[in-house]
A and B are shown apart, each in its own frame.
Chain A
Amino acid sequence: MIDSITQKAGIIAAAAFGVVLVSSAGYSSASAQGLPEGFKKGDLAPEPSAEMIEAGKRVYFTKCVWCHGVDGAGDGPGADRLWPRPRNFNQGTFKIRHTASGELPLFDAKKPVPGQNDLFETVTHGLPGSAMPPWEGILTEEQRLQVLSFVTTQLVKDRKFTDKQSETQTVLQLADLKPKPATDESKKRGGELVVEKKCVECHGMEGRGDGNAFNLKDDWGFSIQPADWHKCWNFRGSRQDPYNVGNIFRTFSTGVNGTPMPSFADNTTVDERWDIANFVNSLCERDALGNPLPIDPLTDKPKINFVIPSDMVEGEIPTEIDHEAWQKAPKRYVAMGGQITHKPRNFVNRIDDIWVRSLYNDKSIVYLIEWDDRTKSVAEGKLPWAPTQVNIIDVKEQDPKTGEEGSIAAHQNNYTVYNDAIAIQTAVKWKELPAPIKPRYLFGTNDQFPVDIVKWEADGSLRAFKGTGWDKDFEERDNYEESMKLLKGEWKDGRWYVMIQRPVGNKKDQDYDEDTFFEVGQYIPTVFFAWDGHNGDAGRKMAVSAFFYTFMNPPIPQETYIYPAVIAVGVVLLEGWVLTRRANKKKGKTL
């Protein structure tokens, strides 16, 4: 155990040394050969041994076959309900590489070295944002090399990793290229370059992947969406190190095989690529101080804090996001999963997180909800169901086994477009529930434990419902809607900004039996729902969050300042007493 660490540390140290020593020699000679800057000719790795291949087959048929299929065509039992679809190995097309665009990735069954073995790293770290998990800690290093030996020799059918006639390796010397410091100047130049190099055409003006998102197809004809630069933890090549600028530099230099993402090695210098990488990296969500968000090692996503604090403001709550009060309000990451409990289940939720802030005054509480959505979706014409309807027969879930043509990946971007929407669900009469009991997360439990649902839709409507169970249609709460206010509902460059104001509630104006009353200093169970209209989301086909808590921060009571002072004085007295006693005792002894 300890040995492997010291070894690792040694390698890292050696690699770091290497960077410094070789950096200058590295690419000057490479460009002399007519290769793109930063690349060097490499050799094809030797064929793995027959034993490795045979052992790998056993690993493959235990762990991988379920998605990637018996022949490695990416058509295992799980494939039809996944988007992105599992990789089809047959063509030898692999996304994350150190090799030039179109070339096979680096793989050497004898060399599990980071930076020199692309496939090994993919299996080790997984591909975040897809169903491919990291296999480190599950399969041993040996087993990972074995299964890759099997995949590269038996399942890659159209190409051969050892064929010198047809294959070349032009390897990005990432370890030798010293990252450029992410200065403001570098990021500014990167920001100009992403426009000049037309990155923004697909990735969008703000890099939220909302550009030319609809016409993009991968090599197999499936819809594919450009990466959202603000969610670096979802970058396929983030290698469980999402804020590492080197990952972006690599992807930008080598392209993503099988997708429309080209390599920019030929028309950018290394220096320009670092600028772009620094700029793209700077867009990834950060905390208020500009530091990377803490990443949960178990999920490889930002760590979740389940309390949404709401700060008090005097007077009117500002409607401008730039306002100081909103800038100071803590912003919470709310993770969203597909609703997979009841039919129609949402296996592919395209909204996987929302960002929530809140402020309150004596009369109202305001939620500011922001989320990335590549498309603004507003249903054409009138929807064929009532806003209160929960059971919608028009929306169907994906069949388990359809073949490629009917698969969920083939359906993407071909759905009937409904409204984008967001809803906040809070427990009614939460104070009377014996903690920790809450109404069920999905539209409440029953009449005894109902929920208060406030739903905004992209057609501009803001409605209030009462929910009494997952399959019960909502009940309208007519006189509540007048007391709510939509302060903002704007889609800009791939992001929705929605600001919803609602009363904190009082017995005089509101109905205690169906409206949530917000009280200062209390934990109010809150669930969020999100619908992406272009994903065909409506009714129960949606994204859901876990239970969060809205917590209205109380003003600080005076006692907070008084008691500690009293206690401190008490301690001083106590000290005096102990010292005197000790002194007396000693005196007594010596006397």
Chain B
Amino acid sequence: MKALMSLGALIGVAGLLLLGGMIFDVVPSNTVRLVEGYMPMQMLFEVACFVAGFAGLSYMMSAMGMPLPRFWQGIGFWAFILLYLKYRVYPPIPFSVRAMYGTVSLVAVFMWVSANEEDWKKFKQPIMNVLDAQTGVNKLLRYVYLVLLPILIGGFSYNAMMPKSEEPIELRTVHPAPPASTKVHGKTYTLQTSQNPYRVNPEGKYDQEFSNNNIVEQGMGRLMKPNANPWDDKNTGYLKYVREGGEIFFQNCHFCHGDNLNGRGLHAFAFNPIPANFTDPGTIAQLQETFIFWRVSKGGIGLPNEGFPWASVMPPWEQHLTVDEIWKVILFEYWHTGYYPRTWD
């Protein structure tokens, strides 16, 4: 038990040092990289590590005879959550969202410290002590608070009232509802029933199971299956189309969506909204192939209003590519990221 707890304490201290380093810019914030696509899981895991670390730390401290009062535990944990959200998570979360998380965690901390009467008493004891000011230190503290509080609150309100030029927050729907059908190069495609004509098995039939067996493997790097190289000259069918799709991708799309399809191409840094990251499980992995077909064909200008069509630089690809080329690029995108297109049923 003790060994376990000291291990926990070690994790806690190391984690706190790292976070502290990031806050003061001593440790670069990308020291422990948030791995693309796994970020939410990684964050949960990290926070769990921290919680375990804190539990260990508080156990160690009380074992060493200097227990941290419940009051400071609560405040410290809340401060930790706020700092973690602000300094660890990248790209940064807007303040309004952080405020929401902050409120929720404040309520949670409150519930924790007031779980039973005894705990609650322990929690509010330090506040009462200062109010009553029975000892010299508390008396001093009380006067410090008396002076500091009005200054701080006045200062905050001054800060809040000072005219500022912060970027207005605009929330955009990334995957708006698709239309029932879309007309590309003179032909109408019903999104519910259309299929990628290049997702075929060796017999030439539409076969998602076959193609799913030949996409790149999941895991770091997402490499191709050793026996399914699209650059093999003997290829016919699916893998040949993947290669053709890749050629089109690297002649047209990589400028924004990037060499690893992660939305970090050459021009990406200049654009807002940033180009979609196909390796993120929240993009093409969540969508049907025909949805992608609609989005690719019509581009930013074809988005409904909630998708901010005025700001997106996504080209309406029907102006640059044929229908066949668009299907092949989509085929390549699923192959390269190792995701299955979502089906309608």
Chain B: minimal CB distance from A429 (Å): 14
- Residue contacts A-B, CB under 8 angstroms, 18 given: A2-B14, A5-B18, A6-B14, A66-B247, A66-B254, A139-B221, A140-B220, A140-B221, A297-B28, A307-B165, A307-B166, A340-B313, A341-B315, A343-B319, A345-B315, A470-B301, A523-B168, A549-B168
Whether B153 pairs with A568 at a CB distance below 8 angstroms is: yes
- Also in contact, A62 and B264, with CB within 8 A (given A343-B320, A553-B165, A564-B154): no
Chain B: minimal CB distance from A531 (Å): 15
Chain B: minimal CB distance from A585 (Å): 10
Residues on the A chain within 8 Å of B258, using CB: 133
Over the window 114-157 of chain A, the binary record of Cβ atoms lying under 8 Å from chain B Cβ atoms (1 yes, 0 no) is 00000000000000001111011111100100000000000000
Contact among B15, B91, B254, B315 for A78, CB-based, below 8 A: B254
Considering only residues 360-399 of chain A, those with a C-beta below 8 Å from chain B are none
Whether A62 pairs with B90 at a CB distance below 8 angstroms is: no
- Is A105 part of the binding interface, using a Cβ–Cβ cutoff of 8 Å? no
Whether A546 pairs with B311 at a CB distance below 8 angstroms is: yes
- Is B308 part of the binding interface, using a Cβ–Cβ cutoff of 8 Å? yes
Considering only residues 238-292 of chain B, those with a C-beta below 8 Å from chain A are 246-252, 254-256, 258-260, 262, 264-272
- Within the assembled complex, what's the spacing in Å between the Cα atoms of A340 and B311? 13
Chain A: minimal CB distance from B49 (Å): 8
- Is B29 part of the binding interface, using a Cβ–Cβ cutoff of 8 Å? yes
Residues on the B chain within 8 Å of A563, using CB: 157, 161
Whether A59 pairs with B311 at a CB distance below 8 angstroms is: no
Residues on the A chain within 8 Å of B272, using CB: 304, 306, 546-547
- Also in contact, A341 and B267, with CB within 8 A (given A5-B18, A61-B231, A347-B255): no
Residues on the A chain within 8 Å of B154, using CB: 564-565, 567-568, 571
- Within the assembled complex, what's the spacing in Å between the Cα atoms of A445 and B300? 12
- Is B170 part of the binding interface, using a Cβ–Cβ cutoff of 8 Å? yes
Residues on the B chain within 8 Å of A561, using CB: 158
* Interface size band for B: 35 or more
Residues on the A chain within 8 Å of B311, using CB: 438, 441, 546-547
Whether A582 pairs with B131 at a CB distance below 8 angstroms is: yes
- Also in contact, A560 and B158, with CB within 8 A (given A136-B33, A301-B269, A340-B256): yes
Chain B: minimal CB distance from A586 (Å): 7
- Also in contact, A436 and B168, with CB within 8 A (given A66-B259, A301-B269, A338-B267): yes
- Is B309 part of the binding interface, using a Cβ–Cβ cutoff of 8 Å? yes
- Also in contact, A438 and B149, with CB within 8 A (given A137-B33, A297-B30): no
Chain B: minimal CB distance from A166 (Å): 31
- Within the assembled complex, what's the spacing in Å between the Cα atoms of A81 and B249? 12
Main secondary structure of the interface of B (DSSP, over half): loop
- Within the assembled complex, what's the spacing in Å between the Cα atoms of A401 and B247? 10
Residues on the B chain within 8 Å of A77, using CB: 246-248, 250-251
Whether B167 pairs with A138 at a CB distance below 8 angstroms is: no
Chain A: minimal CB distance from B147 (Å): 9
- Also in contact, A296 and B269, with CB within 8 A (given A569-B150, A571-B154): yes
Stretch from B59-67, B205-213, B222-230 that touches the partner: B222-230
- Within the assembled complex, what's the spacing in Å between the Cα atoms of A535 and B68? 66
Chain B: minimal CB distance from A223 (Å): 18
Contact among A133, A352, A549 for B270, CB-based, below 8 A: A352
Chain B: minimal CB distance from A57 (Å): 9
- Within the assembled complex, what's the spacing in Å between the Cα atoms of A131 and B257? 11
- Is B99 part of the binding interface, using a Cβ–Cβ cutoff of 8 Å? no
Considering only residues 281-329 of chain B, those with a C-beta below 8 Å from chain A are 299-301, 305, 308-311, 313-316, 319-320
Contact among B36, B163, B229, B305 for A437, CB-based, below 8 A: B305
- Also in contact, A62 and B310, with CB within 8 A (given A77-B247, A549-B167): no
- Within the assembled complex, what's the spacing in Å between the Cα atoms of A586 and B11? 44
**18 new A-B pairs (CB below 8 Å) besides A140-B221, A297-B28?**
A61-B231, A62-B336, A66-B250, A78-B251, A131-B255, A133-B264, A140-B220, A297-B29, A298-B264, A307-B167, A335-B269, A341-B313, A440-B309, A442-B313, A546-B271, A554-B163, A556-B162, A567-B154
- Is B146 part of the binding interface, using a Cβ–Cβ cutoff of 8 Å? yes
Considering only residues 12-27 of chain B, those with a C-beta below 8 Å from chain A are 14-15, 18
- Is B204 part of the binding interface, using a Cβ–Cβ cutoff of 8 Å? no
- Is B151 part of the binding interface, using a Cβ–Cβ cutoff of 8 Å? yes
Residues on the B chain within 8 Å of A400, using CB: 248, 251-252
